């Protein structure tokens, strides 16, 4: 049998590539991130842990490392990068202002249509080496029009007893998320760039959807009561000039987990996944 060759990465980085960094989420950063989610919601948030970094912000820090690791070369400038899946596991709460170290590694690069799918793991640790969180992202790089996902059927309405949150996502909110996260991909900021990439209009960051799903969970069960959120992105949330609606709901699932779903204003699925239960150590603040 002839040996198989690894696919040429669309972004120029191969499996096994590693990048290290350090991070500091300031009180100003934390306040701005939490305010961003609050702007989208008409309901004041409860269930946060004061003085700690929001879990979704840890995921955004990790994704920034992914993007640095996969910084595109000249040959991939015509490709669209989309989020396929995102998993975040928080081992312990990170204090605002606590120095964090990161180690990002490309686990795999595999062909996907005319592009590639790359899995990147990012470990966030404290200065003493103790684990804080781990993020695993699957990022898809494809030629523009080919990146557009097939239409997905609307999902049945959630049961009446499901906990739900409704968010208004505007272009200004998307722009502010781009500033906070450092993700300035043009398909999130320019309708023209998004249409050139095969979309109807500009689209929200997948991690903004992830952040709003985490925001819903914080209000439903509290940040201290979930250690892992795993999300698969079904399709991007299109944000026209008048804005878009994102509704998130959760239901009990097997093994004490929660099934979490996000749909747009037409009931089309945007993302879905599972949140795992957390058993914080004795003495942990709640």
CATH number at residue 265: 3.10.129.10
| Segment 165-186 mean pLDDT | 94
Q: Does residue 224 register a pLDDT over 50?
A: yes
Sign of CA dihedral 125, 29, 204, 228: positive
Q: Answer for the pair 90, 227: CB distance below 8 angstroms, yes or no.
A: yes
Distance CA 206, CA 234 (A): 10
| Segment 34-42 mean pLDDT | 89
| Segment 232-253 mean pLDDT | 95
Distance CA 286, CA 280 (A): 9
| CA-wise closest residue to 32 among 165, 177, 167, 208 | 177
In-domain check, residue 10? no
With b for 16 or more beta-carbon neighbours within 10 A and e for fewer, the 158-178 pattern comes to beeeebebbbebbbebbebbb
In-domain check, residue 9? no
In-domain check, residue 13? no
Confidence at residue 13, expressed as pLDDT on a 0 to 100 scale = 79
| Segment 52-65 mean pLDDT | 93
Q: Does residue 9 register a pLDDT over 80?
A: no
Confidence at residue 2, expressed as pLDDT on a 0 to 100 scale = 33
Confidence at residue 73, expressed as pLDDT on a 0 to 100 scale = 54
CB atoms within 10 A of CB 144: 17
Please name the residue that has the structure tokens 């975040």. Answer: 88
Confidence at residue 80, expressed as pLDDT on a 0 to 100 scale = 79
Distance CA 180, CA 155 (A): 32
Residue 5's pLDDT band, with cuts at 50, 70 and 90, is: very low
Overall number of domains in the chain: 1
Distance CA 139, CA 214 (A): 20
Lowest model confidence (mean pLDDT) among 18-32, 148-162, 196-210, 242-256: 148-162
pLDDT in tens, 268-277: 999 999 998 6
Residue 158's pLDDT band, with cuts at 50, 70 and 90, is: confident
Q: Does residue 255 register a pLDDT over 80?
A: yes
The β-bridge partners of 163 are 250
Sign of CA dihedral 122, 127, 130, 132: negative
Confidence at residue 276, expressed as pLDDT on a 0 to 100 scale = 86
Q: Which two tokens stand for residue 20?
A: 């290290």
Tallying the residues shown for the chain, one arrives at 286
Q: Does residue 149 register a pLDDT over 60?
A: no
**If you average pLDDT over every residue of the chain, what do you get?**
86
Q: Which two tokens stand for residue 276?
A: 């795992």
Distance CA 165, CA 154 (A): 18
In-domain check, residue 5? no
Domain that holds residue 179: 18-277
Please name the residue that has the structure tokens 């505007």. Answer: 170
Q: Which residue has the higher pLDDT, 285 or 113?
A: 113
Q: Does residue 4 register a pLDDT over 70?
A: no
Would you report the helix, strand and coil content of the chain in percent, each value rounded to 5?
25, 35, 40
In-domain check, residue 34? yes
| Segment 108-134 mean pLDDT | 93
Main-chain dihedrals φ then ψ at residue 76, nearest 5 degrees: -110, 15
In-domain check, residue 175? yes
Confidence at residue 42, expressed as pLDDT on a 0 to 100 scale = 79
| Segment 243-258 mean pLDDT | 93
Q: What percent of the chain clears pLDDT 70, i.e. is strictly above it?
A: 85
Lowest model confidence (mean pLDDT) among 84-98, 137-151, 219-233, 234-248: 137-151
Q: Answer for the pair 137, 85: CB distance below 8 angstroms, yes or no.
A: yes
| Residue 123 host element (H or E) | strand 115-125
In-domain check, residue 7? no
In-domain check, residue 284? no
């Amino acid at each position: 049998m002839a040996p198989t060759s690894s696919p040429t990465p669309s972004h120029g980085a191969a499996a096994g590539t590693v990048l290290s960094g350090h991070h500091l989420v300031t009180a100003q950063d934390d306040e701005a991130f939490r305010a961003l989610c609050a702007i989208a919601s008409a309901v004041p948030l409860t269930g946060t842990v004061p003085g700690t970094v929001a879990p979704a912000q840890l995921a955004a820090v990790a994704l920034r490392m992914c993007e640095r690791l996969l910084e595109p070369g000249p040959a991939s400038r015509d490709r669209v990068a989309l989020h396929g899946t995102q998993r975040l596991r928080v081992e312990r709460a990170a204090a605002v202002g606590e120095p964090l170290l990161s180690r990002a590694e490309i686990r795999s690069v595999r062909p996907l249509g005319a592009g590639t799918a790359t899995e990147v793991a990012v470990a966030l640790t404290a200065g003493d080496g103790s684990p804080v969180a781990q993020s695993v992202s699957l990022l898809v790089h494809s030629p523009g029009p080919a990146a557009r996902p097939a239409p997905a059927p609307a999902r049945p309405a959630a049961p009446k007893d499901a906990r739900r949150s409704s968010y208004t996502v505007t272009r200004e909110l998307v722009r502010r998320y781009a500033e906070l996260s450092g993700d300035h991909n043009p398909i999130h900021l320019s309708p023209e760039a998004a249409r050139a990439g095969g979309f109807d209009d500009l689209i929200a960051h997948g991690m903004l959807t992830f952040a709003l799903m985490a925001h819903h969970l914080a209000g439903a069960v509290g940040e201290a009561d979930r250690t892992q959120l795993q999300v698969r992105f079904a399709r991007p949330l299109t944000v026209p000039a008048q804005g878009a609606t994102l509704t998130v709901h959760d239901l009990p699932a097997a093994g004490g987990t929660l099934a979490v779903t996000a749909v747009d204003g037409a009931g089309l699925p945007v993302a879905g996944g599972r949140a795992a239960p957390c058993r914080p150590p004795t003495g942990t603040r709640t």
